[in-house]
Amino acid sequence: MLVAVSTTTLEVCVDSADGLQASLTGGADRIELCSALALGGLTPSLGLMQLAASLPMPVYALIRPRPGDFCFTGDELQIMCSDIETAQHTDLSGVVLGASNADGTLDINTLATLCRTAGTMKKTLHRVIDTVPDPLQALEQAVELGFNNVLTSGGTISVEHGIDQLAKLHRQAEGRINIIAGAGLSPALVKPIARVGIRSFHSSCSILRKNDQQLVSMGFAASDSAGTDAMLVRQFKTLLSTLAD
C-alpha cells in the first residue's frame, strides 16, 4: 500500500504549552508531543495531551517511558500500552514508537504489541532506526508492522551527515512508508535533503533562553533551556513552500 504524502510537511517536536502555541503561530503541519526534550523526549502528561488535542492540526504522542536505551521490560511494555490508550482516549492522531533488542535490532514482538494497541492511529517509528545494525532491513520490518512514517537522521548524530543514508532509505521505501528527516535540522539543510526526494522534515525549531539565576541556584532549572520559536517555525515553512514537487 502506498503512503500518501503532502508536497512538504514540517513536524515540530514540543514539550510544553508554549511550544504548542509557537508551533500553531508559526504554521507547523504536525506536532510530535513529548516531555523532557533535553533527554531526547519522553511520554507527555495527560494534561499536555488534552491541551494538544484541541489544536487544529495532527498531534502524535511520543511513547517512551524513560530515558536511555530502547530495550524495554514487560512492565515497561505495559506502561507504554497504557500510555497509547491514553493518547487514543485524548483523540490524538498518532503515536511515535520504538523498541530494540540487546543486539540493536528492532524488537519486533514489542513493536507488534504496541502497534496492535495503537490500532488505527497513525504510527511513526522513531530514531531507534538510527541505532540498528541494518537500517534497510529495519525499514522493511517497519513496513511489515504497519508504520506510516520513519523518523531518521540517516544513522548519524545530525541529518547533515546522514543525507546519503536518507537517500537510500527514501529509494527503498518506494512510497510504501514516509521518510521524515530530523535531528539537528537547520534551514540550510532543507534543500540538500529535499534533493534526494524527501519532503517531510522534523525539528524542535527551538532557541536557547537563559533562565532566572535564582531558580538555577536553587536547582529548579538549568542555566538555559530550549524553547520553540514561532519565527523559526515560520522560516522553515516559508523555505518548504519554495521546494518543487
CATH, residue 86: 3.20.20.380
* Confidence (pLDDT) at 53: 97
Residues in Cβ contact with 153 at an 8 Å cutoff, skipping those fewer than 6 apart: 127, 130, 159, 162, 166, 181, 182, 183, 184
* Confidence (pLDDT) at 43: 98
* β-bridge pairing 206-210 and 224-228: antiparallel
* The pLDDT of residue 196 is above 60: yes
* Torsion (CA) 3, 197, 60, 40 in degrees, nearest 10: 140
* Confidence (pLDDT) at 221: 59
From the CB of residue 25, how many other CB atoms can be counted at a distance below 10 Å? 14
In a domain, 3, yes or no: no
In a domain, 4, yes or no: no
* The pLDDT of residue 1 is above 80: no
In a domain, 69, yes or no: yes
120: cell is: 488505527
* β-bridge pairing 30-33 and 9-14: parallel
Rounded-to-integer distance, Cα 100 and Cα 98, Å: 7
Stretch 128-135: mean pLDDT, rounded?
A: 96
* Confidence (pLDDT) at 119: 97
* The pLDDT of residue 22 is above 70: yes
Stretch 22-40: mean pLDDT, rounded?
A: 95
Stretch 23-35: mean pLDDT, rounded?
A: 97
70: cell is: 530502547
In a domain, 245, yes or no: no
Q: What is the pLDDT of residues 197-243, one digit of tens each?
A: 999 999 999 866 765 576 556 565 566 666 899 999 999 999 999 98
Q: What is the pLDDT of residues 38-96, one digit of tens each?
A: 899 999 999 999 999 999 999 999 999 999 999 999 999 999 999 999 999 999 999 99
Q: How many domains does the chain have?
A: 1
Stretch 190-201: mean pLDDT, rounded?
A: 95
In a domain, 2, yes or no: no
Q: Which domain holds residue 49?
A: 9-240
* The pLDDT of residue 3 is above 80: no
* The pLDDT of residue 4 is above 50: no
Rounded-to-integer distance, Cα 108 and Cα 91, Å: 26
* Confidence (pLDDT) at 213: 72
239 in Cβ contact with 187 (< 8 Å): yes
In a domain, 191, yes or no: yes
pTM: 0.91
In order of 39, 96, 102, 117, 167, the CA distances from 44 in angstroms are 13, 12, 26, 18, 32
In a domain, 38, yes or no: yes
* Confidence (pLDDT) at 136: 97
In a domain, 72, yes or no: yes
* The pLDDT of residue 195 is above 50: yes
Q: What is the pLDDT of residues 134-165, one digit of tens each?
A: 999 999 999 999 999 999 999 999 999 999 99
Strands (E) across 71-219 are located at 94-97, 122-125, 149-152, 178-182, 200-203, 206-210
Stretch 104-125: mean pLDDT, rounded?
A: 98
